[in-house]
Amino acid sequence: MMFTRLYLHIPFCLRKCGYCAFNSQEMLVNDLNSYVPLLLEEMRLLAADANPRQQLDSIYFGGGTPSLLDAEQVNSLIVKATEHFGLDPCSEITLEANPGTINQRTLTAFRTAGINRLSLGIQSFDDNFLECLGRVHNADQARKAILEARNAGFENIGIDLMNSLPSQNLAQWQTDLKQGIELSPEHFSIYGLTIEEGTPFSHRYPYGSTEMPDEDLSADMFEMADDLLTAAGYEHYEIANYARPGHRSRHNSGYWQRDGCLGLGVGAHSFFKDENGVRLSNVSTLKEYKEALNAGRLPHLDNQRLSRDEAMQEYMFLGLRLADGVSMDKFELEFGCSCLGVYGKVIDELVLLGLLLCDKTNLRLTRRGMLLSNQVFASFLP
């Protein structure tokens, strides 16, 4: 098993947001306290199979709401990961945090515990939208979280903002973006709200609901984010992500470049680069996860060994998410055949549609291609 990235999934939240389809559940304190030893046990069982020559380059606490952990729990996970897998001293160690669960004291403790990058789920600086989304924080807490993170010594702060919210107009989106820029985080992740089946939002805003922004307005919001953030000095380095130079998310960049990642926890996914690549998923409920580990078994649900064709398709649609695009030389090095030889026809069609730029060495999405990325990625599938 080769990997340089470690993902730890914390599947608990204070309250479930109305739009959320992630693997998370409302938390009972006992669940959280008994979960950390299970994560440590999973790590211990896996360590025997890890390649002894590798070292972790990034650790990512994702969720759910990882900021519900206390600093001691976070530290114990980092210390054990270091013992089992080795940790590069310059590693990126990220914690996703919900502004409603942190304060100056806890942020300082997280920083001391080894977290050096904070990803704040702000979503909006407008109380009405935060309430509509069912978030546990308000706009004051969102602003305060960024300022307190700075005071706690964080020099690498990312914030998430959402657009295409019910009844949201362009001026309101502009206000959110401007407030975010004024607070000067190093990184922005910008997501459009999507209505996922089975969530309360899918009943509140059924398909065709007039309260939901239409495609044109969503496209205008995407372009506004691109214009304002790039003018403020952020690089648009991935479809949904912007960073000050030197502050791209190392962990997520590894995902788009198909670097190996070990995922631990309920519903976590791993990717190992053996041959064409292997994807592995953990069981998705806390009950099954507990049962497996208490019985001394790894909580694996299934694994998928990718064929060469699947690996090439994945290489294309993950690589094209990045503004740097896909290098034709690297493709050839990886698969021993020319990218144009395999996908020449699809590439020509996408270039003609104005969705892709192709020069001798590189393929990249145009701005329109980024907007219609799902259509582009689907063209690489059989």
Does residue 24 interact with ligand SF4 by CB under 6 A?
Answer: yes
Q: Report the nearest approach of ligand SF4 to the CB of residue 178 (Å).
A: 24
- The answer to whether 154 touches 102, Cβ cutoff 8 Å, is no
CB of 18 to ligand SF4, least distance (A): 9
Q: Which is nearer to ligand SF4, 64 or 114 (CB)?
A: 64
Q: Which is nearer to ligand SF4, 128 or 174 (CB)?
A: 128
Using the CB atoms, write b or e for 228-256: b if 16+ within 10 Å.
bbeebebbbbbbbbbbbeebbbbbbbbbb
> Sign (positive/negative) of CA torsion 49, 52, 58, 61?
positive
Which position among 6, 8, 20, 358 is part of the footprint of ligand SF4 (CB under 6 A)? Answer: 20
Distance of CA 37 to the CA centre of its chain: 24
Contact partners, residue 184, CB within 8 Å, separation at least 6: none
Stretch that binds ligand SF4, among 18-26, 54-62, 193-201, 293-301 (CB under 6 A): 18-26
Site size with ligand SF4, rule: CB under 6 A: 11
H-run or E-run covering 118: strand 117-123
Q: Is 64 in the site for ligand SF4 (CB under 6 A)?
A: yes
Candidates 6, 8, 17, 27; binder of ligand SF4 (CB under 6 A) is 17
Q: How far is the CB of 379 from ligand SF4 (least distance, A)?
A: 31
Nearest-approach distance from CB 134 to ligand SF4, in angstroms: 7
Nearer to ligand SF4, 68 or 355 (CB): 68
Q: Is 97 in the site for ligand SF4 (CB under 6 A)?
A: no
Beta bridge partners of 242: 188, 236
User: The tokens 């900021």 sit on which residue?
Assistant: 67
Q: Which of 58, 91, 98, 218 binds ligand SF4 (CB under 6 A)?
A: 98
Is position 67 an interface residue for ligand SF4 (rule: CB under 6 A)?
A: no
User: Strand pairing partners for 269?
Assistant: 281
| Contact flag: residue 100 with ligand SF4 (CB under 6 A) | no
Q: What single letter denotes the amino acid at residue 117?
A: R
Q: Which is nearer to ligand SF4, 149 or 372 (CB)?
A: 149
What token pair was written down for 321? 């998410």
Nearest to 265 by CA among 291, 283, 287: 283
Distance of alpha carbon 315 from alpha carbon 318, whole angstroms: 5
Backbone phi, psi, residue 138, to 5° = -115, 180
Q: Say whether residue 22 binds ligand SF4 (CB under 6 A).
A: yes
Q: How near is the Cβ of 193 to ligand SF4 at its closest, in Å?
A: 11
Residue 168 binds ligand SF4, judged by CB under 6 A: no
Which CB sits closer to ligand SF4, 162 or 320? Answer: 162
β-bridge partners, 261? 5, 271
Q: How far is the CB of 268 from ligand SF4 (least distance, A)?
A: 14
The piece of 15-23, 39-47, 192-200, 265-273 that touches ligand SF4 (CB under 6 A) is 15-23
Binding mask 103-132 for ligand SF4 (x = CB under 6 A): ------------------x-----------
**If you write DSSP's letter for every residue of 279-339 in order, what string do you get?**
EEEE-SSHHHHHHHHHTT---EEEEEEPPHHHHHHHHHHHHTTBTT-EEHHHHHHHHSS-H
Q: Rule CB under 6 A: is residue 46 a binding residue for ligand SF4? A: no
141 binds ligand SF4 (CB under 6 A): no
Question: Is 9 exposed, middle or buried, given 0-12, 13-18 or 19+ CB atoms closer than 10 A?
Answer: buried
Q: Which is nearer to ligand SF4, 4 or 123 (CB)?
A: 123
Q: 3-state DSSP: the chain helix, strand, coil percent, rounded to 5?
A: 45, 20, 35
Q: Is 162 in the site for ligand SF4 (CB under 6 A)?
A: no
Of residues 17 and 350, the one with the C-beta less far from ligand SF4: 17
- Which two tokens mark 34? 């008994």
Q: Which residues bind ligand SF4 (CB under 6 A)?
A: 13, 16-17, 20, 22, 24, 63-65, 98, 121
